[in-house]
Amino acid sequence: MKKIRVVFCFILLIVLLCGCSGTASVKKNTIMVHKDGSVTGAIVETFDKEYYDKDSLKEFTLQEVAAYNKKVGKDKISVKKLNVKKGKVVLYLGYKDSVAYKEFNKKELFAGTVAEAYDAGYDLNVSLINANDKTDVIGKEKLLELGSNHIVIYEEAVNVETNGRILYASDDVTVTGRRTAEKAKEGLSYIVYK
């Protein structure tokens, strides 16, 4: 039975890999937040040792994802794409929502509206810098007025791609484009977007 499940997962991976050519190429670990609330996590690592094996990596990844989905009783995570090229491996995992990402990776991630973050108990007593005017800094009161706007709260040192224009970010976050940001150190950070 276990062998059949592994074969099925491998076939599923091949189907998923063929159907995900639209995923953007990334150069650093990235969290992509989509309009429907789902999240794609892209993991980029060196893969340059002779003893590294792409098939073993695929099998391990499929087993980890299958174990998590079985534990929670739903398919909350999927393997979207796995590329090995020029000594680098890029693995794209799809998460039903930020909760699945947080549970699977054991790292803080919230993606929703400012109002939802407040209702979920996140500390919004923070200072955020305007993405366009670095002299414009807002605090909790102004942030709560942006209740219907979206917010990403995360702790990893990763790039973030939002599905809307970034308005404000923590001072440890560098806004690199209209919808993209990065940070170099771990720690709780905030990005507000429209």
Q: Are residues 150 and 118 in the same domain?
A: yes
| 86 pLDDT tier (thresholds 50, 70, 90) | confident
CA distance 152 to 192: 7
Is pLDDT of 112 > 60? yes
* Length, in residues, of the chain: 194
In a domain, 76, yes or no: yes
Do 53 and 120 lie in one domain? The reply is no
pLDDT of residue 130: 98
> Model-level pTM?
0.84
Taking only the tens place, the pLDDT of each residue in 51-85 is 778 888 889 999 999 999 999 999 999 999 998 88
Residue 21 belongs to some domain of the structure:
yes
Residue matched to tokens 């159907």 = 19
**Whether 43 contacts 29, CB under 8 Å:** yes
* Domain edge (last residue) among 97, 128, 161: 97
Is 102 among the domain residues? Answer: no
Indicate whether 116 and 86 sit together in one domain. no
Answer whether residue 150 is part of any domain.
yes
Domain that holds residue 11: 2-97
In the chain, how many domains are there? 2
Of the candidates 110, 108, 140, 107, the one whose C-alpha atom is nearest the C-alpha of residue 123 is 140
Same-domain status, 48 and 125: no
